[in-house]
Amino acid sequence: MAEDERRSPEIDAKDLRRAHLTGRAAILAVVACAIALSLAYPVREYIAQRREIAQLRVQQRQAQQQVEQLAAQKQRLGDESYVRREARRRLHMCDPGAKCYVVIGGEQGGDQDTASKAPPPTSPWYVTLWRSVDAADRRR
């Protein structure tokens, strides 16, 4: 019994230290969780802002490319020879004093072989629809 009494205070001291360390560990865990929770929202916002900045940079590059294309087009449209060429090509305009001919029904750069191989014209959609309705009624 004497040994048991001697060990009891030692065991109580060890248990007390373990309980004390467990309490400290619990407090440390609570503090760590509080810090993590308090930093979670700002970190999420930071990541969202970085993503938005990246998207805005992409949009800025696209806008800059569009500005460069429009500036090149503006420069081309300032050239009188380009404007005349486009007017002849798009609007079929003729220079003063020149004779211009327009072939109606002709293909540009096409020849007889490609014209004869063209598929026959199809009937309008409503004719096809009406024929299918008639065919469905005849089957009954």
DSSP 84-125: HHHHHHHH----TT------TTPPTT--HHHHHTSPPPPPPH
Q: Is the pLDDT of residue 113 over 70?
A: no
Q: Which pLDDT does position 20 carry in this prediction?
A: 61
Neighbours of 96 (CB within 10 A): 4
pLDDT band at 116 (very low <50, low <70, confident <90, very high): low
The CA distance from 43 to 39, in Å, is 6
Query: Which H or E run contains 18?
Result: helix 2-78
- Give residue-wise pLDDT tens across range 57-109: 999 999 999 999 999 999 999 999 999 899 888 888 888 888 888 788 866 65
| CA-CA-CA-CA torsion sign (72, 77, 80, 83) | positive
User: Minimum mean pLDDT among 35-39, 48-52, 106-110, 135-139: which range?
Assistant: 106-110
Total residues belonging to the chain: 140
The CA distance from 18 to 26, in Å, is 12
Q: Which has the closest alpha carbon to 33: 25, 23, 22?
A: 25
C-alpha atoms less than 13 angstroms from C-alpha of 122 in its C-beta half-sphere = 6
Q: Which pLDDT does position 3 carry in this prediction?
A: 52
Q: Is the pLDDT of residue 122 over 70?
A: yes
Asked if residue 16 lies in contact with residue 22, where contact means CB atoms within 8 angstroms, the answer is no
